[in-house]
């Protein structure tokens, strides 16, 4: 039988990154936290925490932390349906996978419409965020996958509309005669990371062929906008982030008639559905108000 006092100490160390902050959270001494971790490691027969700045969980430690979080969520979900149980004395932490552009545009207002939760967000490409659900590492995800992950409910959110944007000076220099395969193969392009396929998808949509432009790697939604404004390169920016810049002429669309729409879905673990009901309603209402409708 697992000792949840010991597991709670492990989860606190991993969540806060230090024995001292974990001790403050648990209202015990750092020595007591250290003793609990040592005892748990002896019982499990494996190292669970890599001591450092910050402290990190080993693979086994991470699995145990996920178990603790899942148990806490299940207990909180039970409290929603069993009124005789005492209410929680502290907020529940929800670990959610989300793509960076949703986080930079519409997700924060949805999170702010809920109470009683703390959020632990994992940022990953929308084509890969569902993998976190499949591994049981998060309880919900904003994803491009419409097929429900096993054990999850799936809700349509809308489409995040992207526009290929660059500064007027960049367009004048690299695309003086308009968009073409030859020009696109020379013009520097902004890419978020190696999972980011939006620029390649748009080029194939706009030109009907594969193009390999020179690349700048900028793993930040705001850096994408700043890079385009500065004339560093062109990239696919969410319309929600750049519409004011487009209206003011600080940015221009390479091909105004060719936006790229990425359908998004909210997938959540069914087992904690009652606990996430308010959050799901806020997510759906906010996304459907800010995102474009998904074309059939």
Tens digits of residue pLDDT in 126-183: 999 999 999 888 899 999 999 999 999 999 999 999 999 999 999 999 999 999 999 9
Could you tell me where the DSSP H helices lie in the chain?
4-16, 19-26, 30-44, 59-81, 100-105, 107-112, 129-134, 168-174, 181-184, 198-207, 221-229, 239-248, 273-290
Strand partners, 191: 217
Tens digits of residue pLDDT in 64-123: 887 777 777 767 666 666 666 565 666 778 889 999 999 999 999 999 999 888 899 999
Strand partners, 153: 268
Q: Which of 60, 47, 50, 63 is nearest to 13 (CA)?
A: 50
Q: Report DSSP state, residue 186.
A: T
Question: Torsion angle, CA of 115/120/125/127, rounded to 10 degrees?
Answer: -70
Distances 60 to 12, 47, 63, 132 between C-alpha atoms, Å: 15, 8, 5, 17
* pTM as predicted: 0.81
- pLDDT the model gives residue 66: 76
4-65, CATH topology level:
Arc Repressor Mutant, subunit A (1.10.10)
The rounded distance, in Å, linking the Cα atoms of 245 and 256 is 14
The rounded distance, in Å, linking the Cα atoms of 210 and 97 is 30
Half-sphere exposure of 215 (CA within 13 A, CB side): 15
- pLDDT the model gives residue 4: 80
In CATH, which of 3.30.1390.10, 3.40.50.10490, 3.40.190.10, 3.30.9.10 is domain 160-261? 3.40.190.10
275 contacts 80 by C-beta, under 8 angstroms? yes
Residue 279 pLDDT more than 80?
yes
Torsion angles phi and psi, residue 163, rounded to 5: -130, 135
Domain boundaries of the chain, sorted by first residue: 4-65, 160-261
């Amino acid at each position: 039988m697992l000792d949840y006092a010991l597991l709670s100490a492990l989860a606190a160390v991993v969540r806060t990154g230090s024995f001292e902050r974990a001790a403050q959270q648990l209202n015990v001494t750092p020595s007591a936290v250290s003793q609990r971790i040592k005892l748990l490691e002896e019982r499990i027969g494996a190292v669970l925490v890599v001591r450092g700045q910050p402290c990190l969980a080993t693979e086994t430690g991470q699995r145990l932390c996920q178990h603790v979080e899942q148990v806490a969520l299940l207990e909180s979900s039970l409290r929603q349906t069993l009124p005789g149980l005492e209410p929680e004395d502290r907020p529940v932490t929800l670990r959610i996978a989300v793509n960076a552009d949703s986080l930079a545009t519409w997700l924060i207002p949805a999170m702010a419409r809920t109470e009683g939760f703390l959020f632990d967000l994992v940022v990953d490409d929308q084509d890969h965020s569902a993998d976190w659900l499949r591994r049981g590492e998060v309880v919900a995800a904003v994803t491009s996958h419409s097929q429900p992950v096993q054990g999850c409910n799936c809700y349509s959110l809308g489409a995040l509309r992207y526009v290929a944007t660059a500064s007027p000076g960049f367009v004048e220099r690299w695309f003086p005669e308009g968009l073409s395969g030859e020009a696109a193969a020379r013009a520097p392009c902004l890419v978020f990371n190696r999972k980011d396929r939006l620029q390649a998808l748009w080029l194939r949509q706009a030109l009907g062929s594969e193009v390999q432009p020179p690349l700048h790697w900028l793993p930040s939604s705001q850096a994408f906008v700043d890079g385009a404004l500065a004339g560093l390169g062109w990239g696919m920016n969410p319309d929600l982030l750049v519409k004011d810049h487009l209206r003011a002429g600080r940015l221009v669309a390479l091909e105004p008639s060719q936006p790229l729409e990425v359908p998004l879905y909210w997938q959540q673990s069914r087992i904690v559905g009652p606990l996430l009901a308010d959050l799901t309603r806020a997510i759906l209402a906010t996304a459907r108000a800010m995102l474009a409708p998904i074309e059939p």
